[in-house]
Structure 1
Amino acid sequence: MGLLVFHHMDINYDYYEHLNTTSHEDHRHEAFSLFSRVFLVCMYSFACILGVSGNALVLIIFIFYEKVKVLTDIFLVSLAIADLCFLCTLPFWAYSAAHEWIFYTLPCQIIRGLYTLNLYGSMLTLTCITIDRYFAIVRATKAHISQAKRIVWGKAVCILVWVISLAFALPQFLFSIQAEFDKKVCIANYSTRFLELFTEVTQMVLGFFFPMMVMVICYSIIVKTLFDAKGFRKHKSLKIIFAIVVMFIFTQTPFNLLKLIRAVYQSVILDERFDYALIITEAIAYFHSCLNPVLYFFIGVKFRKNLAKILKSIGCAKHQQITKQWQTTEDDGSKTCTATHNAEETRMYSL
């Protein structure tokens, strides 16, 4: 069938061996190769350009304008750094999808590991934000801790999150290799089938589905608490965090479910429809890393206000109408956020 173009970051060694043994189905494989090459290159390129610029802007606003004042800021900065690390690997995958993997084994290990590190780092960070919101809203009377202590705890928790995420990503750092079939590829090559299955299932259950269950339970209780509260407007304080969590779950769950199915039932690699589903859900999962800045812009009042300041400072905001409009919205939003005696605990701090 010639050169096969199929570049899942999480594809394994057995998959390519299977493709070599079934290389006579030329027409179907060539069609799939063309689709994957065009689709992945376009998605990787677009996500990289939009995501790097967006997350860099997020870091500038949080670090230089908001000064990372509160606990939520720390977690959101951590998310942006994780996304940036991953997005910087996409040019390598775009080139690999268009041609072949030419970067040798060490970059293969680093780049595959960074994706896994980003996935579980983001998931665990969102879980920490959810738990923090749970204690701030549901257990508000028991959660009175000074902002300074919250910052210290937040930094310690972030470090712990990345240590745990690194442990989850360790198999990708260790077992990824550059291999050559019809062309050079970057894949995972586990020493045994049991090790592969154990790694995949452990990563998915402990690093993805368990934290997702914690977030769903916490937000269910939070929503019930806010509906029962007299100051119903307090639900606006959770709008951004809730949107981030929902977006993460909806973009990551399909791909991770398919990965789990592939690990348990390897016979699905014979199904071409599964291949298409895997490649499309993979692209959606990777595209998530550039969506958070978009959510901040459309939902976050203070984020838009600080963006207006940046545009004005570099001479791009020639007219003041947009800035005034955003500031007016900010004033309205700040009035809403002060509707409760517990506003300091429940508001969506810097956004």
Structure 2
Amino acid sequence: MTSATPDYDYSAPDVEPCNLDPDPLEAIAQTYIHSIICAFGLLGNALVIATYIFYKRAKTMTDVYLFNVAVADLIFVVALPFIIYNEQHSWFMGPVACKMLRSAYSINLYSGMLLLACISSDRYVAIVRARSSFGARSRALLYSRLICSAVWMFAVALTLPTLLYTERFEETSLGGQTAGVMCQLSFTNTETAKLMKVVVPSLQMAIGFLLPLLVMVFCYASIVCTLLRAQSSQRHKAVRVIMAVVVVFIACHLPYNVTLLTHTVSLFRERSCEAEKVKLQVLAVSRSIAYLHCCLNPILYAFIGVKFRSHFRQIMLDLWCFSKRYIYTARTSHATSDFCISGRMSSDGSNNITSFSA
């Protein structure tokens, strides 16, 4: 397979090849950053999924959406270490793994962002349109499962270009020697390359960022106006939560999408080697910031809610009791069991408290 038309003319005798490989120190720093993202993302999203499976049955549309967001983020953080390792050590895994791992981020992006838009829409209907939507929300679980299924199918459909055109191939140097094994978008003709190099990032920016952003801004702005008119002691806390959700979303994804837009616009224009290096460095940094959002989702959409925090405390209590069962004597275990029972009753009793996000 051959990649798209090269950005630089290496056939000219006076032009040396442009080495776009990342600096070793940059690669090490990127590895540490992605390891932290992976660790916290794995822990946070696994706790969200465990909570919904074992402690908090999905009762509302938002519960179903949050569960699916955690699944989407978990898929990505599991794939992230393999992606980073293979990029830095030449791609040693087969072509199937190449396609699947490269598609993991795309599926996470589309499904996760669209589900966050669904959460904001559900909160808008529940708070701003509470009276008119009462009858429809009685069938919320059925609707939410259908919507989530549609979101996942739509995300897979949007990922098809990445899945189809991503290939594992050997990169050759000017002397005909194998320079390394890579896994990236690859095309058999120039026209397809030009089309896909514009379509893929354009879809990512439009559906993976702009559409969810517009939905979130409209819905949360309407919710804030409604809450400010309401006579509620909790309204200021709810407004702060909404502002945090929107600000974090923009802070994580805006830099990457702006850089991606700049990169896409300049693809078919001549540019210097140094400018290309700087642009790729900025793209890598902003991409890591976008990855960070999968760690913050559990905090913003789950753990910040009072109900969810009580279930999280119950998980910690049950894990503590489970470990004590194998350490203490029978008498101490009996005392621990009594403590665990009282702790569970206390935790269940606190579930009557409501909050905006849970």
More deviation, 199-208/165-174: 199-208
> Partners in 1 of 2:119 and 2:243 — Cα distance?
10
Q: Does 2:61 correspond to 1:100?
A: no
Cα deviations by residue, 1:237-277 (Å, 9 ceiling, x for unpaired):
56656644542332122112212221121246841221211
Assess, with a 3 A threshold, how the Cα gap between structure 1 residues 235 and 130 changes in structure 2: closer, same or farther: farther
Relative to its length, the structure with more helix (as a share) is 1
Which residue in 1 is equivalent to 2:205?
Answer: 204
Matching residue of 1:275? 280
Kindly tell me: are residues 154 and 236 of structure 1, through their superposed partners in 2, closer, same or farther at Cα, counting changes over 3 Å? farther
Instruction: Tell me the CA shift for residue 211 of structure 1.
Output: 2.4
Q: Is the 8 A contact 1:262 1:269 kept in 2?
A: no
Q: Report the structure number with the largest CA radius of gyration.
A: 2
Q: How do residues 134-153 of structure 1 correspond to structure 2 at under 5 angstroms?
A: 134-145=124-135, 148-153=138-143
1:165 partnered with 2:155: yes
Alignment of 1:8-23 (within 5 A): 13-14=3-4, 18=8
Q: Distance in 1 between matches of 2:26 and 2:70?
A: 28
> Does the CA-based 8 Å contact 1:75-1:129 persist in structure 2?
yes
Amino acid of the structure 2 residue aligned with 1:184: V
Alignment of 1:188 onto 2:188 = no
In the comparison of the two structures, how many residue pairs are matched? 323
Name the SS of the counterpart of 2:93 in structure 1. coil
Does the 8 A contact of 1:178 with 1:186 survive in 2? Answer: yes
Matched letter for residue 213 of structure 2? M
- Provide the C-alpha distance between the structure 1 equivalents of 2:236 and 2:133, rounded to a whole number of angstroms: 19
Corresponding residue of 2:256: 255
Cα shift at 1:281: 0.8
Aligned residue in 2 for 1:348 = 356
How high is the TM-score relative to the length of structure 1?
0.80
1:213 aligns with 2:214: yes
Q: Go from structure 1 to structure 2 and tell me whether the alpha carbon gap of 1:142 and 1:15 turns closer, same or farther (over 3 Å shift).
A: farther
Give the Å deviation of 1:65. 0.6
Write the distance in 1 (CA, Å) between the matches of 2:218 and 2:272. 34
Shift in alpha-carbon separation, 1:232–1:104, aligned structure 2, 3 A: same
Q: Is the 8 A contact 1:168 1:207 kept in 2?
A: no
Match of 2:102 in 1: 112
Percentage of identical aligned residues: 32
Matches of 2:105 and 2:6, distance apart in 1: 21
Rounded to whole Å, the distance in 1 between the matches of 2:100 and 2:9 is 25
Measure how far apart 1:285 and its partner are. 1.2
The more displaced of 113-122 and 33-42 is 33-42
Answering whether residue 47 of structure 2 is matched by residue 57 of structure 1, we say: yes
Q: In structure 2, how many angstroms separate the alpha carbons of the residues matched to 1:80 and 1:19? A: 45
Is the CA contact 1:54–1:293 (under 8 Å) kept in the aligned structure 2? yes
Residue number among 114, 118, 133 corresponding to 1:128 in the alignment: 118
Selected match of 1:314 from 314, 319, 326:
319
Q: 5+ residue gaps in structure 1?
A: 1-11, 338-346
User: Quick one: distance in 1 between partners of 2:235 and 2:227?
Assistant: 7
Of the structure 1 ranges 146-155 and 240-249, higher mean CA displacement relative to structure 2 is found in: 240-249
Secondary structure in 1 matching 2:169: strand
One-letter amino acid of the counterpart of residue 260, structure 2: K
Q: SS where residue 133 of structure 1 aligns?
A: helix
Kindly tell me: are residues 125 and 132 of structure 1, through their superposed partners in 2, closer, same or farther at Cα, counting changes over 3 Å? same
For the structure 1 residues 119 and 23, does the alpha-carbon distance in structure 2 shift closer, same or farther, using more than 3 Å as the test?
farther
Q: 1:120 to 1:277 in 2, by over 3 A?
A: same
Select 1:290's aligned residue among 295, 317, 336: 295
Q: Structure 2: how far apart are the matches of 1:275 and 1:235?
A: 42
| In 1: Cα distance, 2:234 partner to 2:158 partner | 39
1:166-199 Cα shifts (integer Å, max 9, x gaps): 1211111111111322321211124330232133
Q: What does the per-residue CA deviation read over 1:78-126, in whole Å, with 9 as the maximum and x for residues that have no partner?
A: 0000001111111212312431111132211111111111001111101
Question: What displacement does 1:39 show?
Answer: 2.1
CA RMSD of aligned residues (A): 3.4
User: Is the 2:224–2:239 Cα contact (8 Å) retained in structure 1?
Assistant: no
With over 3 angstroms needed to count, the CA separation of the structure-2 counterparts of 1:305 and 1:202, relative to structure 1, is closer
Q: 1:285 to 1:185 in 2, by over 3 A?
A: same
Paired amino acid for 1:284: I
Q: Secondary structure at the match of 1:230?
A: coil
Relative to structure 1, the CA distance from residue 16 to residue 314 in structure 2 (aligned partners, 3 Å threshold; closer, same or farther) is: farther
Match of 1:302 in 2: 307
Distance in 2 between the 1:291 and 1:259 partners?
Answer: 22
